[in-house]
Structure 1
Amino acid sequence: MKSIPLQYESLKAVLIHMDANIRFKISQRLPTIRITEKMVPLRVRSLRLDEYSTTVNDTVYQLGIYREFKLGENILEKIKRENDYGGIESDLDQYGFRISPGHSLVTPGDISFRDMNSHALQYDTIGVERSYRDELKIYEKALLLRTNSETDGITTTEHDGNLEGNRADLFPTYGLQMPLDTLKYHIDNLYTELLPFECRRFNLKPPYVCYIQLTIQTGKTKQIQRFPYKIKLYEAMKSLNTLLFGGRRSLILAERFHLPTSSIILRLPIGFKVGTRQLRDLPFFQNDRFNILSSILDLSFFPLDLISIYVKNANDVQHPIVSTAKTLIIFGFGTDVDKRTAIRNCSNRQVAFRSIWFTITVEQMFGNVQYCLENQLIETCYSYSINDEKTAKELFRLIKTHINNTKRTKRCVSIKTTDRRRLEVFYIPTKSMQNEEQVERMYDSKWILKIRIVRV
């Protein structure tokens, strides 16, 4: 039977319901529909941007520098491992030194979360080399002592960290305590780091050839493509994102839009715009990060259903993008942030604390209970991720000891207030939660503890 090609309107109707990654493939293989594909709104369940990777739904597009060793050359273990993970996420110079990733170079469409006055790291200084050689001397001395017990009659129990002098001459206690395989791995890593210094000293080329590697991975399935290393890695990332998202006539509609916390600069095509109601993992670089994000977000989707942030200062939670969201997830606090003030500045209906990089103490949770009692008209429900049930029990003990009119059951404390309201403090196992979205928010904890004011 002769096949009949889809007409224009039918093609658009099919494309809009097609998985984004399949659309990318079709667009590249069938240039005749490329223009139509760009005109149809792109809908994705999840979009994650990083400096050298882009994740669309369950598919990761990752770029790195792959180093292929010349025939007969010894393959260094560290480089082999980096190759296995898709290549190093940094450009390399003629000797193999990592070089500045171009953070000071912002092209049209890019967004940067870094202070432009920041200085690029240097990897090829005399001080860096000296540090590597000192550390290598320590580890090699440890290896010698462990593989030759007759050396100078020294055993691993003598001089337990009591020697004085230069760091390179200190008895390598920690080298003697770690597993032998780990010790050898550290030594191999240091030789790898010193290789560029040797190449520069004798004006030699590294024993490998560099390629830009594109890894496309969905689950356990990988596709790998390698290209001659003729442009910078950040330029390749710009080209990749332009290929995926450039030239689109309408918004990219993302149910969830993720921005990894450590992103410094994102290489995006001109006109890149996202419509989303869930903004996750805001980077903690630069104070005006919220205003920077406004340039790539469609504000008609505000207020957001959910936003997750790292709090750099107590006022972050009062920014309109944050304060108007229905649910706020805080996954980290800056070292100088007054957590108590930040928590009290929150006005969202749901505030969740995912304690990945910080700890909320029992005393701080008790302070939040007192705050809710003092401000009984607030409608915020606070959720804390906890791993030890003892934390909840200790909070209950504090409440019973210091607050009157309390009633306790096994996992709940209820406090009657004076205006036909009551405050509830309770905890439940994460695995018992029915709402998939709620489980995803607190997936890294065993228990969820909640504090809320309810009407009687």
Structure 2
Amino acid sequence: MNANPPLAYQSLKAVLHYMKTTLRINLTGRCPSLCSVDKTVPLTIDSFEPKEHSFLIDDEEYKIGLFKEYPEGSCPDSAKRDNKNGGLESDIDEYGFEDWSTRGALTPGDTDLREWREREYKVNPSQDVTRLDEHERNLRVYREQLAVVESFGPVDLRSDPIHSSEKINQIMNRFMGPNTTTDLLNCYREYKEFEFARALAHQTLSDHIMRLEPLLESFYCRRDRRALPFNSFIMLTIKNSVSGVTKRVEMVKYEKKLHEALKYLIFKIFGGRLHPVTMNTIYLSGESIIRFPPELKIKLRNIDTSADENLTLEALNPFIDETCYPLKSIKFEVSDSRIFENPVVRSAEELIVSEPFPRTDWVPIFLNLPNKKIHLLYDGNVISVDGFIALIRHYMCAGKEVGSSFTYGLSAEITMEGGNNESDEFLIALFRKIRKEFKESKSWKQRAHIPTTDGKTLVVSTVACEYTDDYCVQLRIDS
């Protein structure tokens, strides 16, 4: 009996179009024969977030790491841990030392959004030949201390931590102190914090040992001019952020640097597409490097960045399809108030400003913004009651459309029941002043209705914040 015939070209395009995005990416990655068809079908992504060694597409993280393959029975704990967690997040040299010079390395077309501190990578100081004796001595001490920790029986990493942190630190330091012995620690067994402190000491010492073992292995390979005892591979893993399940997808011989392999993977997914990639939200940080193919076009709706806001917009501009403007929303931290003069920022439907500078006079800035929705997230007392009254007067007379709003974040500790925290005091003073200044308003405890000059209603109220666990006081234009 003949196998079912393959899907016709048009039918295959329809299947790919309606397939879940990450399933489609994973399928076409495994079936090269589908790639040419896939490139002709529009790709839609809900969210994309680049990181140093990985990137997230929707609910899946694609990670590149270095896998160390040892002969059976000889794999050290450090390599087992790294292999299990997606591989070592560093290149290595011929002796196995971590090669810090390639961390965050850029290739032609990349855009670096990292803060200056993230860019300063020097030679790994641990591989200095003069430190061999120090590393050997430390490893010996850590192993002796770990033996003392384990002499009290199996370690329970789930031990209850709800005890005195001072006592926990005291016991933990005793475990990790010089010349520690089982006899010296017996007197602490009566304390309820003992087991949790022991678990912490065990974890800390194990981490120290797992850091030093491969380091010393590299020292000996360099000193004795011998080959590494393992084979190296570049490994791709995919982790589902919802289920937490990680799958090892592919391993290839270690012949590229990790950042080159990551860029190759990004090009494989995004490069050569006939249509712009539809992307709902891109998330960027001060640790991000954008490694998009130069010809890529994105139909983007939302930008969420904690990187430099000016650099972010400059970096994304070549990739954003012109039909996307105005953007639906931009969320950013302010390092330069001139960002509010940027036409991309001013035209966005919604602005979310986080971590504002307290010393900035925000009211004149917000009075001059045309955006439909503006959120100023809480970061201390950045707007006074009088400043907020000025915003109310502006919204009353500006002829803004229904649904326009200004939201000012407050501390989550609002009680309005006689509390005296800063947010309570602000709200009490604000609504008191509204009743005094706007005689035509209708006012309640946490809500006021004020008529606008064009016959609408300006509602002032406290609401739950959309972007944090805090509360907000909001101005909103209703019909």
TM > 0.5 fold call: yes
For 1:217, the aligned partner's letter is K
**Hey, what's the Cα distance between the residues in 2 that align with 1:25 and 1:423?**
50
Deviation of 1:252 (Å): 0.5
Query: Which residue of structure 2 aligns with residue 329 of structure 1?
Result: 352
- Asked whether 1:409 is paired with 2:444, we answer yes
Tell me if structure 2 keeps the 8 A contact 1:264–1:285.
no
- Determine if contact 1:59/1:216 at 8 Å carries over to the other structure: yes
State how far apart, in whole Å, the 1-side matches of 2:17 and 2:130 are. Answer: 53
Q: 1:129 to 1:384 in 2, by over 3 A?
A: farther
**Runs (4+) of structure 1 moved beyond 6 Å?**
127-130, 132-141, 415-422
Aligned to 2:209: 191
> Which of 159, 174, 179 is the aligned partner of 1:142?
174
What does residue 370 of structure 1 align with? 389
Q: Secondary structure at the match of 2:345?
A: helix
Q: Which residue of structure 2 aligns with residue 261 of structure 1?
A: 285
- How far apart, in 2, do the equivalents of 1:144 and 1:8 lie? 66
Residue 383 (structure 2) pairs with residue 360 (structure 1): no
Does the residue aligned with 2:64 lie in a helix, a strand or coil? Answer: strand
Structure 2 CA distance for aligned equivalents of residues 64 and 52 of structure 1: 7
The code of the aligned residue for 1:241 comes to I
CA distance 1:144–1:450, shift in 2 (3 Å): closer
Partner SS, residue 361 of structure 2? helix
Q: Which residue of 2 aligns with 1:86?
A: 86
Q: Given that residues 328 and 351 in structure 1 are in contact (C-alpha distance below 8 angstroms), is that contact kept between their aligned partners in structure 2? A: yes
Are 1:305 and 2:336 an aligned pair? no
**CA RMSD after TM alignment:** 4.2
Larger Rg: 2
Task: Please show how residues 391-430 of structure 1 align to structure 2 within 5 Å.
Answer: 392-400=423-431, 404-405=436-437, 408-413=443-448, 424-429=459-464
Retained in 2: the 8 A contact 1:411–1:427?
yes
* Maintained 8 Å contact 2:13/2:37: yes
**In 1: Cα distance, 2:246 partner to 2:478 partner:** 54
Distance 1:416 1:19, change over 3 A: closer
Secondary structure of the residue aligned to 1:11 is helix
1:276 corresponds to: 300
Q: Distance in 2 between matches of 1:305 and 1:286?
A: 16
Partner secondary structure for residue 96 of structure 2 = coil
TM-score by length of 1: 0.74
1:350-388 Cα offsets, whole Å, 9 max, x none, are: 122455xxx233x63636413414534455422426422
Does the aligned pair in 1 maintain the 2:458–2:476 contact within 8 Å? yes
CA distance in 1, matches of 2:406, 2:309: 29
Shift in Å, 1:191: 3.4
**Alignment check: 8 A CA contact 1:60 1:216 kept:** yes
- The alignment status of 1:112 with 2:112, answered yes or no, reads yes
1:341 & 1:67 partners in 2: Cα distance? Answer: 55
1:288 is paired with a residue of what secondary structure? Answer: helix
Relative to structure 2, which stretch is displaced further, 142-151 or 60-69? 142-151
For residues 105 and 121 of structure 2, the distance between their equivalents in structure 1, rounded to whole angstroms, comes to 8
Q: Which range moved further: 299-308 or 390-399?
A: 390-399
Name structure 2 gaps, 5 residues minimum. 146-172, 189-193, 416-420
CA positional deviation for 1:427: 1.9
User: Aligned in 2, Cα 1:75/1:39: closer, same or farther, shift over 3 Å?
Assistant: same
**Does the CA-based 8 Å contact 2:114-2:307 persist in structure 1?**
no
Are the aligned partners of 2:385 and 2:426 in contact in 1 as well (CA < 8 Å)?
A: yes
Q: 1:353 to 1:64 in 2, by over 3 A?
A: farther
Q: Percent identity?
A: 21
Distance 1:331 1:213, change over 3 A: farther
Counterparts of 1:6 and 1:416, CA distance in 2: 62
For residues 293 and 453 of structure 2, the distance between their equivalents in structure 1, rounded to whole angstroms, comes to: 57
Q: Cα gap change, 1:66/1:398 in structure 2, threshold over 3 Å: closer, same or farther?
A: farther
Partners of 1:315 and 1:342 within 8 A in 2 = no
In structure 1, the residue matched to 2:37 is 36
Deviates more, 1:375-384 or 1:52-61: 375-384
CA distance in 2, matches of 1:127, 1:365: 59
How many Å apart are 1:283 and its aligned residue?
Answer: 4.7
Indicate the SS of the match to 1:64. strand
Is structure 2 residue 21 aligned with structure 1 residue 20? Answer: yes
| TM-superposition CA deviations, 1:87-120 (whole Å, max 9, x none) | 2332233333242335453224x33225899532
The residue type paired with residue 273 of structure 2 is: R
Contact 1:385 1:448 in 2 (8 A): yes
Contact preservation (8 Å) 1:369, 1:451: no
| Structure 1 segments unaligned to the other structure (5+ residues) | 157-175, 431-440
TM-score normalized by the length of structure 2: 0.71
Larger deviation: 65-74 or 414-423? 414-423
Secondary structure of the residue that 1:364 maps to in structure 2?
Answer: coil
Give the aligned partner of residue 238 of structure 2: 216
Q: Deviations over 1:155-199 (max 9, x none)?
A: 99xxxxxxxxxxxxxxxxxxx998232233223333344446534
The change in CA–CA distance for 1:14 and 1:148 in structure 2 (over 3 A counts) is closer
